[in-house]
Amino acid sequence: MKNRIIVILLFLMSSQLFSQERYLTKEGYISFFSHSLVEDIKADNYQVLSVIDKKTGEIAIQLLMKSFMFEKALMQEHFNQSYVESYKYPKATFKGYILNLKELDVQNGTVEIKGILSLHGKEKKISTIANIQILKDQINLSGHFMVEVADFDIKIPIVVRNNIAKTIKITFDLKHKPYK
């Protein structure tokens, strides 16, 4: 009986220690920006889920495509129905690693992030440099990277082809708190 209690206590303590290495946000921010000679298009998403395992450097990000908000409702409708086809491909994900997280010995710095971005049924390797801030109870990541629309097989009709850039800037700001 004593052995069972000890094993259960050890298990509970180890899972508690392990959970302290994971950081989570459900209110992360990701935006995209398209600049063309005809118009600029920007959309914001404040419902981004992100998890970081501080021990391994693993990072996973997920968002619903329908959660992007545009200045013009018609743009949002076209984005969801015609371009990213949110009904068919409702989520975008990123799975990868913060490469030098374990070696980072300062509270503020830069890190390299590498992984796979899944969007519109396609996957693409992504590598970027991000700003990181490590506080007692928070890990903040911010930065940006560029993606090619064609890499994700997103079809832009000829009529509006000049309105949408071929390369889109993705910006992120993720404030993670310890996962309990």
What pLDDT score was predicted for residue 8? 45
Residue 86 placed within a domain: yes
Does 100 map to a domain?
A: yes
Asked if residue 14 belongs to a domain, the reply is: no
How much is the pLDDT for 6? 44
For the chain, give percent helix, strand, coil, nearest 5: 25, 50, 25
pLDDT at residue 155, rounded to an integer: 86
Q: Which residue has the higher pLDDT, 16 or 169?
A: 169
Least confident stretch, 87-91, 164-168, 173-177 = 164-168
Amino acid at 42: K
Position 93 scores a pLDDT of 98
The string of DSSP codes covering 79-136 is: IIIIIS-TTTS-EEEEEEEETTTTT--SSEEEEEEEEEEEETTEEEEEEEEEEEEEET
Domain membership of residue 106 (yes or no) is yes
Closest C-alpha among 115, 134, 136 to residue 126: 115
Instruction: Say what percent of the chain tops pLDDT 70.
Output: 87
Residue-level pLDDT at 14: 44
In a domain, 169, yes or no: yes
Domain that holds residue 165: 22-178
pLDDT at position 18 over 80:
no
65 within some domain: yes
For the whole model, what pTM was predicted? 0.84
Q: What is the pLDDT of residues 34-66, one digit of tens each?
A: 998 888 999 999 999 999 999 999 999 999 999
Percent of the chain with pLDDT over 90: 67
- Return the pLDDT at 23: 96
CATH number at residue 154: 2.40.128.110
Residue 130 lies in a domain: yes
What is residue 20's predicted lDDT score, i.e. its pLDDT?
Answer: 58
Report pLDDT digits (tens) over 101-123.
877 766 788 999 999 999 999 99
| Tokens (6 digits) for 107 | 């509270």
Residue 137 scores a pLDDT above 60: yes
Q: Are 54 and 22 in contact (CB under 8 A)?
A: yes
Looking at the structure of the chain, the number of domains it has is: 1
